[in-house]
Amino acid sequence: MNKLKYKNIGMGLLLVFGLTMGSIVQVKAESGIASVYKGGRTANGEHAHPSGMTAAHKTLPFGTMVRVTHRRTGRSVVVRINDRGPFIRGRIIDLMPAAARKLGFSGLAPVKIEVIGKKKKKS
C-alpha cells in the first residue's frame, strides 16, 4: 500500500512539473484577421517604417518574434512586435505594408500567428 501511495505522489509531482515546464515552452498561437497599417511613432517609441517587418499586437511583449501565416495561401513571414493594436473586433495583428506584401495581401487577410521567440538585444 505504501509503495502505491508514493508512486501516486511521484506521478502527481511529475505531472505538476511537466505542466509547469510545458507552460514555459508553450507556443502561443492565434487565428483571426490581419490588417495593414502605416504609422508614425509606435507604442515602444520606434518610428514605423512601411518597409519594416514589424507589427502591432494587443498584448504580446515588444520584441516578440511572430510567424504570421496566410491561411488561404500558406505563405508566412516573421515579424517583430513593436506596437499596440489592432483595436477592431476580430483583428489580431496589424502588419506593416512590406510584411503584408510578402503574404500577398493589401487589406485584410485570415491568418494564424505563432510566437517563435524574442529578439535578442544587441550587446
CATH code assigned at 83: 2.40.40.10
In a domain, 76, yes or no: yes
The 3-state secondary structure of 92-105 reads EEEECHHHHHHHCC
In a domain, 90, yes or no: yes
Task: Quote the domain boundaries for residue 78.
Answer: 28-118
Count up the domains in the chain and report the number. Answer: 1
Cβ of 17: how many Cβ atoms within 10 Å? Answer: 10
In a domain, 16, yes or no: no
Do 94 and 42 contact (CB within 8 A), yes or no? Answer: no
In a domain, 70, yes or no: yes
Q: What is the pTM of this model?
A: 0.74
User: For position 3, what pLDDT does the model report?
Assistant: 55
Task: Flag whether pLDDT at 14 surpasses 60.
Answer: no
pLDDT in tens, 28-46: 789 999 999 987 899 999 9
In a domain, 8, yes or no: no
In a domain, 102, yes or no: yes
